[in-house]
Structure 1
Amino acid sequence: MWNDTVARDLIDDAKGAPGALLPILHTLQETFGYIDRAAEALIAEALNISRAEVHGVVTFYHDFRQSPPPAHTLKLCRAEACQSMGGDRLAARAKARLGVDFGEATADGRIGLEPVYCLGLCSAAPSAMLDGRITARLDEAKLDALLTEAAR
């Protein structure tokens, strides 16, 4: 849960370092799971830069989240090898079952669906990753099992 006091302390601890903006953002995300919009003003003030500059960095890098992360994240490989082995069909199935598109989370915040552009398992395509655990040779049954696991 976001806490302005803790965020200010983390920002103050790192603001003197060269190139402090990215390390501060990473620290805030590691601590809170996301970068709260309120952090942008705190960082801008501490680093004597504009809020627009901070916001630009937060929104440019796709790894920075601007809202609390879902409890579980399912990443489906969207690279060519996985697409050629049925990845598009599996992606459509996951979207339909979850009722979300890539980059979204279920209404209850339980499961987020993210695209990833290569998990390095091209010879065992298609592949997916649930909470950091990779599944190769993904098929409908394996996908359904991952979604059931994440829904618990």
Structure 2
Amino acid sequence: MGISQNEQQSISALVGQYTQLPGALLPLLHAIQSDLGYVPDSAVPIIAKGLNLSRAEVHGVISFYHDFKTTPVGRHTVQVCRAEACQSMGSRQLEAHAKQALGIDYGETTADGAVTLEPVYCLGNCACSPSVRIDDAIYARVDTDLFDDLMSGLLTEEGASK
């Protein structure tokens, strides 16, 4: 998937801003993802050339860190904890419900582009399992009803901001 001329210019401008920074690759990748929502594969050659790295080095860093996305994601990210404490408190059932309610599997985005569903392996909220993170907010003791309420509130909020 190619990138638009505007995205290419944005990436090139960001590369220019980070060129002189020691250890620039990670901060640059974060800046690109913050700006575009993901790091497109077609950005790798631009980044490699700008930072005098090989394409393999750039790709290796992107693929090593799971937080870097290489395809567009939803406007909101919903993560269901799959760690042992959450599993023991019902996260498997919550996970199945989330997939069914959203109509997607892990790693997928709803057709309207609103939500991407991801697994996560510990949110550090074990005493209040099961936990869910929506964007940057962590919710505790989430059952199917609370999940539905959170999704309803998220989608209502999103509809109001359009």
Partner secondary structure for residue 117 of structure 2: strand
Q: 1:37 is matched with which residue?
A: 41
Report how far residue 114 of structure 1 moved. 1.3
Report how far residue 133 of structure 1 moved. 2.0
Q: 2:159 is matched with which residue?
A: none
Report how far residue 3 of structure 1 moved. 1.8
Q: 1:144 is matched with which residue?
A: 148
Matched residues in 1 for 2:74 and 2:130: separation? 23
Partner secondary structure for residue 63 of structure 1: coil
Q: 2:100 is matched with which residue?
A: 96
Matched residues in 1 for 2:53 and 2:124: separation? 39
Q: 2:53 is matched with which residue?
A: 49
Q: 1:59 is matched with which residue?
A: 63
After the TM superposition, which parts of structure 1 deviate over 3 Å for at least 4 consecutive aligned residues?
none
Gaps of 5+ in 1: none
Equivalent residue letter for 1:42:
I
**Paired residues for 1:3-18 under 5 Å:** 3-18=7-22
8 A contact 2:44–2:59 mirrored in 1: yes
Q: 2:79 is matched with which residue?
A: 75
Equivalent residue letter for 2:95:
A
8 A contact 1:111–1:150 mirrored in 2: no
Equivalent residue letter for 1:61:
Y
Q: 1:120 is matched with which residue?
A: 124
Equivalent residue letter for 2:83:
A
Partner secondary structure for residue 34 of structure 1: coil
- Is 1:26 equivalent to 2:30 in the alignment? yes
Partner secondary structure for residue 57 of structure 2: helix
Identity %: 49
8 A contact 2:15–2:51 mirrored in 1: no
Matched residues, number: 152
Report how far residue 48 of structure 1 moved. 2.3
8 A contact 1:74–1:129 mirrored in 2: yes
Q: 2:88 is matched with which residue?
A: 84
How far does the alpha carbon of each residue in 1:53-91 deviate from its partner, in whole angstroms, 9 at most, with x for none? Answer: 211211111001112231111111111111001110110
TM-score by length of 2: 0.85
Partner secondary structure for residue 90 of structure 1: helix
